[in-house]
Structure 1
Amino acid sequence: MFFWLLACTESKIVEEKTLDLSERLQEGEARLGIIHDEKALFAGVSAEGAIGDFKMYNSHVQFIIQSDRPSSYYIQQGGGILDADVVREPGEIGRDIIDEHTVMAGLGRILEPTSFEVVSDGSNGSAHLRVRGSAIPFDLLQGAIENYDLVASYDVAFQVDYILASDTPLLRIDTTIEWNDEPFPIQPANVLLVGKEILHHWNPGGGLEGDSNNGWHGLVSHQDEVALALMSDGESFSSSILQDLLTEATPAISSFGASIAIEEGDSHLFTQYLGVGRDLSDLSDAWYTHNNIETEAFSGSIVDDQGNPVPGARVQIYDQEEAITMTQTDDKGDWSVRIPKGTNARYVASGRGNRIFLDIPRQAGWTGPYTNEQRQQEVYDSYGQEDSLVSFARGYGVGDWDNPVLMRPGFLSITIEDAGPAVVKLFSDDIQNSPYAPGNPHGATQIGYIRDGSIHMPVEAGVYNVMIHRGTQHNYVMQEIIVGAGEDVSLEVSLEKIEIPFSVFGVDAHSHSAPSGDGKVSMEGRVLSHCAHGVDVSISTEHDHAVDFAPLVNALGLGSHLQTIIGSEVSPPMRGHFNAFPMLVQQELVNGGAPI
């Protein structure tokens, strides 16, 4: 048993018992406490957790709730979910994808915390944190249109209860809205800003990049390292005009309850769930159980054209034309999910994978601008590891309905004579886009970014035109190849430097990656892309963030190819955007000290 006491008075917290929040828990256990040791933190593209925040976890999942301190990105106020991940094996790097989270009462009224109470530290089998506070305007919405009267001022109090039981991947979020003002219609909501640059939407109803049927909203990372879902409490989400505004202005997924007419003295309880898992079926299985939906098993195996198991294939489950859930095959090619009883289920398997290849180990972590220093160093160290046998199928293509067979991939090996970076682009009329797999990247069939002179990529069998280049200061190579299933095609190329009679530097003075809300690549992807395209100087201009890319460049071993300058794109939507550089990163300030 763990005993501790919190005395909460207007944001002041006094702790009498320190819990070890890095200890692995057993089935049936849950734990909640204040983070005192950096070992309790985890990495990720959006990781921001810090000493003094709250961590609640069980044997399956872990969440960090921001204390009453300012954080980076666009919601500085505490009291929301800051980081989330599954509990990973020792040595496995964390995969947080949450920028920030807040609850909302009507148009743009979000939580500003005044007190935190540990209702249960988990010693009774359930961890329970209560946050109380008042409503303040959502500055991101008001600032976007420079109308600071957009959010009408009302006397509103919040009570948010985060409850994590043992043995579940779902965090319960109970939001009680206490209305102390004149009558007004509101829609309660949870708003989650996420790292969309490394994520695919996958929703029940529409499937991959399709619309949700409003039971839940799902996200899955490009290589299936982590899945996230914002889930209803049995009732469907409601539509809202604010939904489109948030989606357009921010990297947000949001879930709205039904509109209610609330009067002075009323309180309204609004319950939703945030789930995190290794795949979406972990979360849909738990959601069915929570909602007492009777289910049955639906399972199978995926093999290649020679009968060998295909590990790491995506299997998408449908009820006729409506997507239900998605899972992955295990090391033996097997898969199994729970589906509502009586479902007329069918499935489609994909081993195509993400068609942008970065020349880093498959198990390598993601760099985040605000990740704890120790956790970030573990990410840097992962770039130098040997490629492990992480199960994620690539190059197998997309199968037919209810067909367990995928065609074996071929392999393309490319070696650059001077051992430098390069871009590899493959074009093929044989490989067609599918609604059940990611589409063609940037007009090509497949792209690879070489870091250190060579790359080995699985590719779908077919005829390709291959272009290999290093930007405008080198000649390129173009060649047709035929890759058969199971075959390995090798190319050795020389990218000759173009003789120019005066010094020329390739400078990219405007680019984005993970820290920006509209970023389309990870920070690793941005650095590899710059080097492969022959960029000599990169000026970081992330929207409203000051980010130093130099440590990442050096960790990737690319310091001799790319120099960096710190800058920021100051982004007032109504006045246009302005790039400012050079700058210094001020780690003690929100967003690295960038003007916002």
Structure 2
Amino acid sequence: MRGTPFAGCLAAAALALATAMPAPPTRATDLVTLSPQTWDSYAPVGKEADAIYGDFALRNDRVVAVIARPVRMRNANMTVRDVGGMIIDLARRDSEGGDQLQAFYAASPTNDFQFAGVEVDEPEIFDVERNEPDGTNRARPSMLVRARSITLRLISKPRPDRPTVELRYTLGDDADAVTVETTWTNDTGRDLAIEPADALRAERTFEKAPDGSSSLFWVADAHFGQAYGVLPEGVEVSSKSDARYSYLDYPIGGSDEVVLGPGESTSLSRRLVPAADLFEVRAVAAEAQGVEQSEGSLVVRDESGAPVEGADVLLRVDGELYARGRTDAEGRLSGRLPAGMEGEPEVVAPWGDSTTEFEPLDGEPGTYVATLPQPGYVVAEISGEDGGPIPCKVQFKGKNGTESPDFGPDSGEVAVGNLYYSHDGRFRQALAPGQYDVIISYGPEYDAVFTELAVDRGAEAGLTATLVRTVDTTGWVSSDFHSHSTPSGDNTASQLGRVLNLLCEHVEFAPCTEHNRLSTYVPHLRALGVERLMATCTGLELTNRPLPLNHQNAFPLALREHTQDGGAPTIDDDPETQIERLALWDGHSDKLVQVNHPDLGHMFFDRNGDGQQDQGFRGMFGHMDVIEVHPLHTIFEPASIDRDGRSYNNTIVNWMQLLNQGHRIPGVVNTDAHYNLHGSGWLRNDLKSPTDDPSEIDVMDVVHAAEAGQVVMTSGPFLEVVARSDGAEAIPGGDLELAGGSATLRVKVQCPNWFDVDRVQVFLNGKPSEDLDFTRESTPDAFSSEGAVRFDREIPLTLDEDTHVIVATIGEGSSLGPVFGEGGHADDKPVAVSNPIFIDADGDGFEPNGDTLGAPLPTKEN
């Protein structure tokens, strides 16, 4: 039936805290300062949780909110900054999604708030103390409060040109929302104009209320299961949203601007509602507005009677979205709607089928049933050669009229887009009936399995495969030194999703390198039970302007959990100061310092960016261990690349120019992945390693191999290069003294079954040697089309000067292909480039030749 309504203390008592504050009774509100003693009980969880020690947790039995400690330089992450005194975490305690809010900026974050006190109603415990001033020259309050209702008061530091601003955060024991009250008082002695406004940051997967005026502003994230509402009292909210922020204005007295005379005040109160979905936000708002509501439930089943979990339930009123929610594991969505509301409900299955038909459920008044066509199911059992579980990436592509599935957003975890990341190769996933091409892969050391799948309604389609490791990488391990997830602040990708992406692409070592914040992958690997399959450590990308110059990675670093930025060093506008600070961090500990995606002309030869050569940022040179030099395929192009009417510095050729000037800095490549749909895996470093077992990898072995240049950079092909002369030998990064003027270069290239190479080029002091350019067309006998080994040759070298030797291989007639998906890196060429071997031709030590490779040394890219 269409249109049927349904509803969707402190140090003195620190050790006694566990007994002083047990889990709260049904009706009580707590306010605590987060500390080692309170953390486990009070810190919220969720993809966007940013709380640290010293923040305030305010909660009752329904809601938990974290107000960031009101101090300067309190940043949630790289881009969510100046959050002192703001709400940075907020969630319903019973919601599975947990905190998904980046920040709610009440009034203005530039008001420099400080603690002003706590007010309580019917207190059970009240212990509030200001400790000695800390490094911010402010008393750090500690709190241990339980009461029927609690208000946390903050006040802005007086300024001669601004009003005094008081913030009050109130939560009662029966409240579904935090009440936020702002009072502006003019203490300046002259008229002041203020604009009552907030800003809310919730991005990417959030749907947002249409721009305009309303009694309720909302944002809702159906995928991660959290929604938020802002409900002002006595005034409407005027909203305007962009991709990141929603800007909320409150026209008190009908005007966006309020003029306060000397001594005058004005106040604004609004409820900030966390909820599992938009239905719940609407219900809390309606209750606050005195609207009569009816309770009800919707049960979603398929034609077999099985509950449908994760079905989207949408309610439109007059064609506009009113609410959206998702069914639970029992296929049920319960809640409240205004009594008598007429609307147009729709249910959409995770596999795409939908219905607008609903029937009453016998025996359950107020409950309706929606029935959907059955899906089919893929039941996967992907194994390694030993018959046991193996991580894998499984890609489903619809064919013959069947659409490709969309399991979830690119910020997701296990099921992302049309991919399923399985940590063990075993899963069951609903699919729309139809025909599918399926690609099963585990990185470029394994042959991919390409197969077809027919899925029928109500039936299980078995998907079995054995992944075979055909590429022999003995003595080398794969790595990605640079990737991100939501703690970085410039993306919202699940960190668990990042780990799954890395794991299922067979990256054997990956440091956690979030922007300006130390973090760790260990809890995710432990939860999956795959610690033995991927080595990791805590690292960092220290990111600041000028861009792209002032970006540096480092690992390993010491994580100081639940502290500002995890104990990371602070950024600096001077790149020389910043990289030195990073290199000397943790007591000048041994670490790898990597320069990320640099403009080498700007860094080395054009400090002021005027296009004239100078000494560059010389203070950086001694602190960098490796440099990112991708993209790799441009090693075959000139030092400057013209594209779309602009000239770009060719980083990898610029790097070879640097080598010729005596800057012996190894090159690396990394994905810099920010999202989880094929984000990691398409670039990697193969590093010399004393072990092939990820569980045995020593982080310092990785650091020292990279520092020594024992690195081959690749988008897939496994390239081995060894130079030999008179019984001595060297691998990339090494030195070799030439005996008798000649040496032999052994080059071997292996590929799995899903891409190929057709060219091997030797570069001598950065120049491609015409005599050492091997292609399938010119030297077909040097290449194979069968098996993993595609090229394997001893190449004689005759050298009359000191020469660094780099080998590159590429599939000019190939691509990474569908294993890396459409619209991503599928069209990228398979390419690998070795770091240089330094050959001393005259026995007096290697001397660079100073050659600029037929082009001027680069200056800053314009």
Of the three residues 81, 97, 100, the one matched with 2:100 is: 97
1:272-293 CA distance string (max 9 Å, x none): 2221233332221110111233
Quick one: distance in 2 between partners of 1:458 and 1:20? Answer: 48
Please report how far the alpha carbon of residue 434 of structure 1 lies from its aligned counterpart in structure 2 after TM superposition: 11
Alignment-mate amino acid for residue 464 of structure 1: Y
Listed one character per residue, the Cα deviations across residues 7-49 of structure 1 (whole Å, up to 9, x for unaligned) are xxxxx9999x9895542332x5444455663453143334354
Which residue in the other structure is 2:551 paired with?
Answer: 578
For residue 569 of structure 1, the aligned residue among 541, 549, 552 is 541
Equivalence map 1:108-123=2 (5 Å)? 109-120=110-121
Judging changes above 3 Å, is the alpha-carbon distance between structure 1 residues 496 and 38 closer, same or farther for their aligned structure 2 residues? same
Residues 1:399 and 2:354 are matched in the alignment: yes
Secondary structure of 1:548's counterpart equals coil
Aligned-partner Cα distance in 1 for 2:374–2:187: 64
Distance 1:351 1:301 in 2: 12
1:47 maps onto 2:58 in alignment: no
Q: CA deviation at 1:325?
A: 1.4
> Take 2:411 and 2:121, find their aligned partners in 1: how far apart are those partners?
48
Unaligned runs of 5+ in 2: 1-8, 125-145, 359-369, 572-862
CA deviations on 1:170-205 (whole Å, 9 max, x unpaired) are 1111111223345454433333445x57xx323455
Aligned pairs, number: 506
Deviations 1:75-132 (Å, cap 9, x if unpaired)?
45543334333334xxx98823344443234xx6344214232333666984231322
> Is residue 177 from structure 1 mapped to residue 184 from structure 2 by the alignment?
yes
Distance 1:312 1:523 in 2: 22
Residue aligned with 1:564, SS: coil
Aligned ranges 1:264-279 → 2 under 5 Å: 264-279=262-277
| Residues 288-367 of structure 1 mapped to structure 2, 5 A cutoff | 288-295=286-293, 300-329=298-327, 333-340=331-338, 343-352=341-350
Equivalent residues in 2 for 1:478-557, closer than 5 Å: 478-500=450-472, 505-557=477-529
Which residue among 426, 432, 445 is the counterpart of 2:396?
426
Listed as ranges, the matches of 1:154-173 within 5 Å are 154-173=161-180
Contact between 2:156 and 2:165, CA under 8 Å: does it hold in 1? Answer: yes
Q: What's the RMSD between the two structures over aligned residues? A: 4.0
Paired residues of 2:408 and 2:417 also in contact (CA < 8 A): no
Letter in 2 for 1:326: R
Distance 1:583 1:61, change over 3 A: same
Amino acid at match of 2:558: V
Which residue does 1:237 correspond to in 2? 237
In structure 2, relative to structure 1, the CA distance for the partners of 1:95 and 1:519 (3 Å cut) is: same
1:169 maps to amino acid: D
CA change 1:451–1:405 in 2 (3 A) is same
Q: Deviations over 1:44-85 (max 9, x none)?
A: 334354666544333322223344565642445543334333
Q: 1:528 aligns to what SS in structure 2?
A: helix
Q: CA deviation at 1:525?
A: 0.9
Tell me the amino acid that sits aligned with residue 411 of structure 1. Answer: Y
Give percent identity, aligned residues only.
21
Distance 1:547 1:417, change over 3 A: same
| Structure 2 Cα separation of the partners of residues 41 and 31 of structure 1 | 9
Q: CA deviation at 1:159?
A: 1.3
> CA offset at residue 299 of structure 1?
5.5
Contact 1:203 1:212 in 2 (8 A): no
How far apart are 1:421 and its partner, in Å?
1.0
Aligned with 1:591 (options 557, 565, 569): 565
- Normalising by structure 1, we get a TM-score of 0.73
The answer as to 2:258 corresponding to 1:261 is yes
Q: In 2 relative to 1, CA 407–179 (structure 1 residues): closer, same or farther, beyond 3 Å?
A: farther
| Equivalent in the alignment of 1:215 | 216
Provide Cα deviations, 1:133-169, integer angstroms capped at 9, x if missing partner.
2169xxxxxxxxxxxxxxx983332211222233331
The question of whether the paired residues in 2 share the 8 Å contact of 1:32 and 1:127 is answered with: no
Query: By how many angstroms is 1:516 displaced?
Result: 1.7
114, 134, 138: which one pairs with 2:156? Answer: 134
Q: Partner letter of residue 155 of structure 2? A: G
Q: Is the 8 A contact 2:405 2:431 kept in 1?
A: no
1:388 corresponding residue in structure 2 = none
What is the Cα deviation at residue 296 of structure 1? 5.1
Deviations 1:353-373 (A, max 9, x none): xxxxxxxxxxxxxxxxxxxxx
C-alpha separation in 2, matches of 1:83 and 1:235:
26
| CA drift at 1:237 | 2.3
Residue identity matched to 1:266: E
Q: Conserved in 2, the CA contact under 8 Å of 1:126 and 1:163? A: no
Q: Render the CA deviation track for 1:460-499: whole Å, top value 9, x for unaligned.
A: 2222111100122211111111111221122221222233
Q: Is the 8 A contact 2:29 2:61 kept in 1?
A: yes
Which residue matches 2:62?
A: 60
What is the match of residue 24 of structure 1? 24
Kindly name which structure, 1 or 2, has the bigger radius of gyration based on alpha carbons.
2
- What SS does the aligned partner of 1:427 have? strand
Deviations 1:212-259 (A, max 9, x none): 9672222335253x443334436442246xx54xx55xxx45533232
Give the partner amino acid of 2:106: V
The aligned residue for residue 87 of structure 1 is 93
Contact 1:229 1:283 in 2 (8 A): yes
SS in 1 for 2:283: helix
Partner of 2:207: 202
* Higher RCO, 1 vs 2 (CA within 8 Å, ≥6 residues apart): 1
- Structure 1 position 528, deviation (Å): 1.0
Cα distance change on mapping 1:423 and 1:348 into 2, 3 Å = same
Q: Which residue of 1 aligns with 2:381?
A: 415
In structure 2, what is the Cα distance between the partners aligned to 1:87 and 1:551? 22
After TM superposition, give the deviation of residue 521 of structure 1 in Å: 2.3
Unaligned segments of structure 1, at least 5 residues:
7-11, 137-151, 353-394
Question: 1:552 and 1:444 mapped to 2: Cα distance?
Answer: 17
Any idea what SS the aligned residue of 2:107 has?
Answer: strand
Asked if 2 retains the 8 angstrom alpha-carbon contact of 1:34 and 1:54, the reply is: yes
Query: What amino acid is aligned across from residue 261 of structure 1 in structure 2?
Result: V
Mean alpha-carbon deviation: is it higher for 52-61 or for 403-412?
52-61
Q: Answer whether contact 2:87 2:105 (CA < 8 A) is retained.
A: yes
Deviates more, 1:17-26 or 1:419-428: 17-26
Question: 2:691 maps to what in 1?
Answer: none
Counterpart of 2:581? none
Partners of 1:515 and 1:545 within 8 A in 2: yes
Aligned letter for 1:422? C
Distance 1:93 1:276 in 2: 12
* 2:180 partner letter: I
Q: Distance in 2 between matches of 1:168 and 1:405?
A: 35
Q: Does 1:465 align with 2:463?
A: no
Distance 1:489 1:500, change over 3 A: same
3-state secondary structure, aligned to 1:222: coil
Q: What is the rounded CA distance, in whole Å, between the counterparts of 1:59 and 1:551 in structure 2?
A: 27
Alpha-carbon spacing, 1:65–1:116, altered in 2? closer, same or farther (3 Å): farther
